[in-house]
């Protein structure tokens, strides 16, 4: 009978590995260029005038809520959705020392937030839904004026305030928060193996915490009368969907056996067929050493600082030890 094949599990990289993160980043140069373009595009979307949806006198009942300051100010959203998750991701890097994980997590996080931002602002400009406090933006003195024929509003408020008043749908605070913190939830789920079927509910609570914070940001937008409930609901769904897509672009499902590390790390380390014509064998007759004299870890992966391996890491060709080969069945 053929011997059963064992599944392959990636081990934790030994901390003394010298990881050339700049080389990995250069190999993703086009991704970083696209990120810059997304920033520019989002800036343009914020400059252009949104669609001014018709607002009649009979619509003011739902648009006459008082103007309030933001409970969560605009400058705090990048801190909540980007800086905070980056700090956690960097902290995990210093513990695990995997440059692939650090680079792909930050890249995925930024893509999640920026794609969400562009979609959110594009929809805002196209829809032009008035905010719940539109009356006071349009008539800051409380004296309404309407067209005698169409009953449409004749605003005499500050132009920039009125412009912002036509950007209710969807909520940018909410979509940004769910994009960044949603990605962080996925990331933590993979790192703490929340779906390992061992029944540790405490792990699930850790994963839910970022989503709870994002939900509180969303609730504040309704409480401040800056958004209707439909705005924050749609913003939350949009941010969470983009976060999920971006995470799964770089990482396996958290329930996967190799869900701890990015796709690139697993593929480039464990696929021996990629090595046949692109790299020299990483093992010799000596069971505990490699051709360059560097030690072998318990997972058979090269732990040395071989420049050729580092130069070709992201291209898919990296040294591999004998113990990490894909098992085959005896005939």
Can you give the pLDDT at residue 320?
Answer: 40
Task: From 108, 265, 262, 253, select the one nearest 194 (Cα to Cα).
Answer: 253
Alpha-carbon span 62 to 135, nearest angstrom: 9
Q: What is the pTM of this model?
A: 0.76
Can you give the pLDDT at residue 328?
Answer: 40
Pick the range with the lowest mean pLDDT from 9-23, 202-216, 288-302: 288-302
pLDDT of 276 strictly over 90: no
Burial of residue 318, with CB atoms counted within 10 A of its CB: 0-12 exposed, 13-18 middle, 19 or more buried: buried
Can you give the pLDDT at residue 51?
Answer: 96
pLDDT of 26 strictly over 50: yes
- Ramachandran area for residue 250 (φ above 0: left; ψ -120 to 50: alpha; else beta): alpha
Alpha-carbon span 298 to 287, nearest angstrom: 11
Burial of residue 166, with CB atoms counted within 10 A of its CB: 0-12 exposed, 13-18 middle, 19 or more buried: buried
Average of per-residue pLDDT values in the chain: 80
pLDDT of 292 strictly over 60: no
Residues taking part in catalysis: 173, 227
- pLDDT band for 254, please (50, 70, 90 cuts): confident
| Average pLDDT of the residues in 72-95 | 94
């Amino acid at each position: 009978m053929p011997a059963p094949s064992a599944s392959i599990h990636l081990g934790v990289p030994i901390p003394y590995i010298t990881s050339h993160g700049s080389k990995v980043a250069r190999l993703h140069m086009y991704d970083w260029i696209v990120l810059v373009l997304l920033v520019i595009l989002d800036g343009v979307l914020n400059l252009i005038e949104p669609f001014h949806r018709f607002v009649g006198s009979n619509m003011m009942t739902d648009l006459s809520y008082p103007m309030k300051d933001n409970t969560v100010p605009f400058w705090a959203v990048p801190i909540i959705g980007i800086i905070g998750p980056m700090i956690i991701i960097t902290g995990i890097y210093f513990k695990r020392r995997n440059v692939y994980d650090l680079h792909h997590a930050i890249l995925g996080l930024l893509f999640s937030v920026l794609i969400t931002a562009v979609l959110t602002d594009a929809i805002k400009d196209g829809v032009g839904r008035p905010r719940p406090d539109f009356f006071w933006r349009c008539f800051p003195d409380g004296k309404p004026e309407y067209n005698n024929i169409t009953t449409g509003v004749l605003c005499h408020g500050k132009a920039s305030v009125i412009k912002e008043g036509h950007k209710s749908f969807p909520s940018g605070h909410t979509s940004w928060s769910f994009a960044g913190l949603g990605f962080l939830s996925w990331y933590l789920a993979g790192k703490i193996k929340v779906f390992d079927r061992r029944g540790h509910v405490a792990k699930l609570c850790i994963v839910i915490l970022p989503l709870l914070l994002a939900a509180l940001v969303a609730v504040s937008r309704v409480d401040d009368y800056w958004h209707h409930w439909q705005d924050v609901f749609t913003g939350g769904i949009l941010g969470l969907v983009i976060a999920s897509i971006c995470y799964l672009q770089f990482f396996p499902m958290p329930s996967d056996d190799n869900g701890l590390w990015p796709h690139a790390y697993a593929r480039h380390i464990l696929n021996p067929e990629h090595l046949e014509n692109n790299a020299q064998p990483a093992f010799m007759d000596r069971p505990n050493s490699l051709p360059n004299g560097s030690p072998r870890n318990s997972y058979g992966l090269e732990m040395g600082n071989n420049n050729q391996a580092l130069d070709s890491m992201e291209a898919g060709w990296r040294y591999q030890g004998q113990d990490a080969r894909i098992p085959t069945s005896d005939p």
